[in-house]
Structure 1
Amino acid sequence: MSLALQIIFDALLLGGLYAIGALGFALVWGVLNVLNLTYAAFIMMGAYATYWLWRIGFDPVAAIPVVMLLMFGVGWLMQRGLLNYVARGPGSLPIALTYGVNLVIVGAALYYFTAEYRSIALPDYLRGSLEIGGAQLTNARVVTMVIALTLTAAVWWFMDRTETGIAIRATRMDMESAQLVGIRPRFIFNITGGISAALAGAMGALMAVIYSVSPQMGDHHLLQVLIVCVLGGLGSMLGPLVGALTLGLVSSIVANLWGATYAMLAGTVMVLLVLAVRPAGLLGRQFYES
């Protein structure tokens, strides 16, 4: 019973973190049909922003909204000043461009911050642990899990209930029809880029609370985000969430039974099996297969 609860709690933590990252990545991928590989650097920047805000006196949890606002500005500027000009070009162009930008940002972080791992000294309310049914949960992981799931629900509400969210979904489904009803695609692209970067920053900020921070941390987490997006499928807001919870559950089971070394392998194998049966992903629409 205790092992089952431990697996469920770990799955919710990982699923919440992956869901935030996957929602942000899937927004740009789904709306602009662009694989924005700078997303890895955005995750890292969010983690470092949290770390440095903590160094000047911010509570690490209270710093998360500030980090999201900062990263929204970064994403907006990058989308408006760079990606909008290549989004409709050959598919390889934005991939090469964003990969290059990612290398520049990571290289700059390595130069200024070095490859040293940095950690946040947690405040008292994040220290310690609690036991539920024999499963051990640190306070930091509980708070992180709650914030991650809350942010995921907030994004869901924004996309489903607000005028801007509906405009983003309309642009993703049919840009020409969206233009006919007065939606400005460039504005939607900029907003989408900002929200995507803000969610990457939130993922990095939460990672900084429970893990160490380093310049190359984003690359590993981007791979997890890609797996979640491919597994859940594009074209549905529910896809990244289902993919995140599925990957979190599988990773948690494998990590608790056989060790964390095999968790990544298990996730990769699961994606290959799902795609062999359903190329669009678990909840993806056929339009996004091509």
Structure 2
Amino acid sequence: MTQLTQAIVLGLLIGGVYALMASGLTLIFGVMNIINIAHGAFLVLIAMVTWWMWRETGIDPIVASVVTTPLMFAFGWVVYTLVISRVRNAPPSMSVLLTFGFAMVIEGVLNVTAGNKFKSAAPSYFEESFRVGGISLPKAQLFGFLAAMAVLAVLYFVLTRTWTGRAIRAATQNPSGAALVGVGASGTAALAFAIGAATTGVGGSILSVLYPFFPASHYDWISRLLGIVVLGGMGSLPGALAGATILGLAETLTATYGSLAWSTLVFYLVIMAVLLFRPHGLFGARLREDAP
């Protein structure tokens, strides 16, 4: 029983981190109908920046997110203004190709500047744990989870309790109606993209501690995050949280009672099973395809 409880706790801790990483991706899709394939590259970019800051200054990698988050917010705004806005009204395939190309550019720059080798930040508490009864809580996973939950709480508050959040949700649900009350589609889209990019500031800093990474590892991360978003429902933040929790539990339970090598396969089997019965995902809205 203790082993099962331990696996569930670790799965929830990892799932919280995955939820943060996927939240920006699903937010951008919900507002702009754009799948940002470069989202995984953003995470790896910030992981690399965090690793460099930790190596040069000794700053705690998770605390470094105080710097990396506003940095990625500004970076996201610039990327949208100079790049993404040019294909805002183009077919979705254009945004997929464009963001994939942008991910390739980030990977190439990191290969040249940092080298094609695995890196990982290891703060002093990296191998330490808290003990609660018979359950072990690794400090790195716990601190990463708490940081992720704090950011998700702030994101939820902004989206549900502020005028900015209401404007973003209005542009998501009814763009023409939002325009009638003065909510500009272009400005809202830029803000949503910047907020989505800002979540990678914290997510990438946490990633640098919990997982080894190198420039090309963004392929693995974007595939995981897209799986989470599809399972939960495209554009749904609660869906991203549910999908991330399922992935975290699938990984830890499979690793505990089977093999870690099978954990990702089990997750995608769960996605296939769910989508057979709910093609729009767990929290996605069913849309009419016959409407003009």
**TM-score bracket relative to the smaller structure:** over 0.9
Provide the C-alpha distance between the structure 1 equivalents of 2:154 and 2:126, rounded to a whole number of angstroms.
23
Provide the C-alpha distance between the structure 2 equivalents of 1:235 and 1:106, rounded to a whole number of angstroms.
26
Say which is worse superposed, 13-22 or 209-218, in terms of deviation: 209-218
Alpha-carbon distance, 1:126 to partner: 5.0
Q: After the TM superposition, which residues 262-273 of structure 1 pair with which residues of structure 2 at under 5 Å, given as runs?
A: 262-273=262-273
Change (3 A) 1:34 1:288: farther
State whether structure 2 residue 45 is matched by structure 1 residue 52.
no
Alignment coverage as a number of residue pairs = 289
2:246·2:267 contact (CA, 8 Å) conserved in 1?
Answer: no
Provide the C-alpha distance between the structure 2 equivalents of 1:133 and 1:2, rounded to a whole number of angstroms.
10
Change (3 A) 1:245 1:289: farther
Change (3 A) 1:236 1:38: closer
TM (normalized to structure 2)?
0.94
1:280·1:288 contact (CA, 8 Å) conserved in 2?
Answer: no
SS in 2 for 1:287: coil
Alpha-carbon distance, 1:274 to partner: 0.6
Say which is worse superposed, 257-266 or 141-150, in terms of deviation: 141-150
Provide the C-alpha distance between the structure 1 equivalents of 2:241 and 2:129, rounded to a whole number of angstroms.
27
Alpha-carbon distance, 1:119 to partner: 2.3
Aligned residue number for residue 282 of structure 1: 282
2:228·2:247 contact (CA, 8 Å) conserved in 1?
Answer: yes
Aligned residue number for residue 108 of structure 1: 109
1:28·1:192 contact (CA, 8 Å) conserved in 2?
Answer: yes
State whether structure 2 residue 205 is matched by structure 1 residue 183.
no
SS in 1 for 2:151: helix
Alpha-carbon distance, 1:136 to partner: 2.5
Aligned residue number for residue 260 of structure 1: 260
Change (3 A) 1:275 1:288: farther
Alpha-carbon distance, 1:235 to partner: 4.5
The amino acid across from 2:111 in the alignment is L
Provide the C-alpha distance between the structure 1 equivalents of 2:157 and 2:258, rounded to a whole number of angstroms.
37
The amino acid across from 1:106 in the alignment is E
TM (normalized to structure 1)?
0.94
Provide the C-alpha distance between the structure 2 equivalents of 1:63 and 1:80, rounded to a whole number of angstroms.
26
Aligned residue number for residue 10 of structure 2: 10
Provide the C-alpha distance between the structure 2 equivalents of 1:289 and 1:215, rounded to a whole number of angstroms.
39
Alpha-carbon distance, 1:139 to partner: 1.4
Structure 2 unmatched runs, 5+: none
Alpha-carbon distance, 1:211 to partner: 2.2
Q: After the TM superposition, which residues 1-290 of structure 1 pair with which residues of structure 2 at under 5 Å, given as runs?
A: 1-57=1-57, 58-123=59-124, 125-287=125-287
SS in 1 for 2:62: coil
Cα deviation, 1:79-110, whole Å, max 9, x if unaligned, reads 11111110211221111111111111101111
- Alpha carbon RMSD of aligned pairs, Å? 1.7
The amino acid across from 2:75 in the alignment is V
Alpha-carbon distance, 1:59 to partner: 2.3
The amino acid across from 1:71 in the alignment is M
